[in-house]
Amino acid sequence: MAQDPGPICIIGAGIIGASAALHLIESGARDVTIIDAGDPLSGTTPAGAGFVARFGADHNRRLGACTIPLQDYGLAFYKQLHESGQDIDFAANGNLVLARTPTMLDTLADGILGHPQVAPRTRRLDADGVAELMRGAVDPAAVAGGVYMPEGIQLTTALAQQAILTRLEDEQVQFHWATPATGVRMVDGSATGVETSNGTIDASTIVLAAGAWNQELLESVDRRLPLIPMVATRFVSESAALSALLPTVQCPELRLWLRELHGAFSWGGSFAYRLLSALEDEGLEFGYGRPVSQTLLEAQYAHQDSVAEVFPALSGLPTAETIQGVPVYTVDGGLYVGAVPGVEGLWTLAGDSESGITHGPGMGKLVAQLIMDEPPFVDPAPFRLDRVDPADYPDEASMVASMAEDRIATAAKLG
């Protein structure tokens, strides 16, 4: 076990910060404190739909093959959490990418089945194969087929986050809730503490894992990353008596993701996503926690009929719950895990690219290994903070422009 690095303070108790704390403890760190501006489970994580799969093994996505070891680690991590007796609503039903047209089906098959790291038993399905897999939830006349990735799992994000927080409490990690960090105390270029609304917490190692709020903390030490916070929306319907054996589903043509949750539909997509800054310009008030954008709720209600063309049971089905959160996109589609250049002792986990449930455990493990000076389980170079020059992206418009052809860039232009 590595040498204890002294007091560590993690800013942010979402799935990513909590995962970093857990892996630091497992690597031998003894003095770990987490501070969070809100109450437990108040950030973006519980808004997450809980899809976890090998999303990097797909030429159609920008995550890149460098992320596959993190996805494999996430899959194993949640399986182990489930097998240890934690109730996280875990199911290993796979992930289905649906195509409405033969052209899209070819594109999906090229991107996924043509990937050199395609998982075993990944397969192309025709419309009848999709209908069978989806146990009647999909109208086969409305789709051309799909690609099924059997390794995908699903879970309830708030339950997984709570399970990790409970383990951290058992390990004597100190928590400070409702304690916003306001800055980092620096001495001679080194981070020596976290300034908060309730005084300064001494720490020789500080990990920023503040999700949508990372940018303002980085600015407090004169650093910047090109990050694009986006408000995303998820609806949970009334029960439709869906089978608990359904895989999670994505459909690029509908800009949709959808899954079964306790017999109901849990669904959303980029038709109800929008830049946080654009919504704030229009009057959305957002401090910490989760936003409520009526504009986006209405956008999603307006889209329900077109989703119901493929999933007939969603037609006219009332909504039981709506939840919104703020994932953060990056200009190259990747993730940030690494040291903040020029600030000794300061580390950042940022740019979750709407995949922090999938990648949180692996991001946490990687940063813990780097801090504890252990051999990293994955090459850290593609995750470095200095891989992109922020000067190339002087404003948000230039960041969004870099995402051309990305489904989220389409959302950013909405309205």
Q: Which residues bind ligand FAD (CB under 6 A)?
A: 11-17, 35-38, 42-45, 47-51, 180-181, 209-211, 213, 217, 232-234, 268, 288, 325, 327, 352, 354-358
What are the Cα distances from residue 194, in Å, to 20, 187, 200, 287, 348?
A: 17, 12, 5, 20, 14
Query: Considering the complex, what minimum distance in angstroms separates the CB of residue 344 from ligand FAD?
Result: 21
Query: Considering the complex, what minimum distance in angstroms separates the CB of residue 375 from ligand FAD?
Result: 25
Query: Considering the complex, what minimum distance in angstroms separates the CB of residue 3 from ligand FAD?
Result: 27
Structure tokens at 407: 């489904």
Query: Considering the complex, what minimum distance in angstroms separates the CB of residue 354 from ligand FAD?
Result: 5
Query: Considering the complex, what minimum distance in angstroms separates the CB of residue 189 from ligand FAD?
Result: 22
The amino acid at residue 391 is A
Backbone angles phi, psi at 410, to 5 degrees: -60, -45
Query: Considering the complex, what minimum distance in angstroms separates the CB of residue 234 from ligand FAD?
Result: 4
Query: Considering the complex, what minimum distance in angstroms separates the CB of residue 73 from ligand FAD?
Result: 13
- What DSSP state is assigned to residue 193? E
Q: Which is nearer to ligand FAD, 55 or 393 (CB)?
A: 55
What are the Cα distances from residue 69, in Å, to 57, 63, 65, 83, 366?
A: 10, 12, 8, 21, 11
Cβ(109)–Cβ(118) below 8 Å:
no
Cβ(270)–Cβ(408) below 8 Å:
yes
The amino acid at residue 413 is K
Backbone angles phi, psi at 242, to 5 degrees: -70, 150
**Partners of 176 in the β-ladder:** 35
**Partners of 274 in the β-ladder:** 231
- Residue sitting closest to ligand FAD (CB): 14
Kindly give the pairing relationship between strand 190-196 and strand 199-202.
antiparallel
Q: Which is nearer to ligand FAD, 288 or 377 (CB)?
A: 288
Contacts of 346 (CB under 8 A, 6+ apart): 184, 191, 206, 208, 221, 339, 340
Q: Which is nearer to ligand FAD, 56 or 145 (CB)?
A: 56
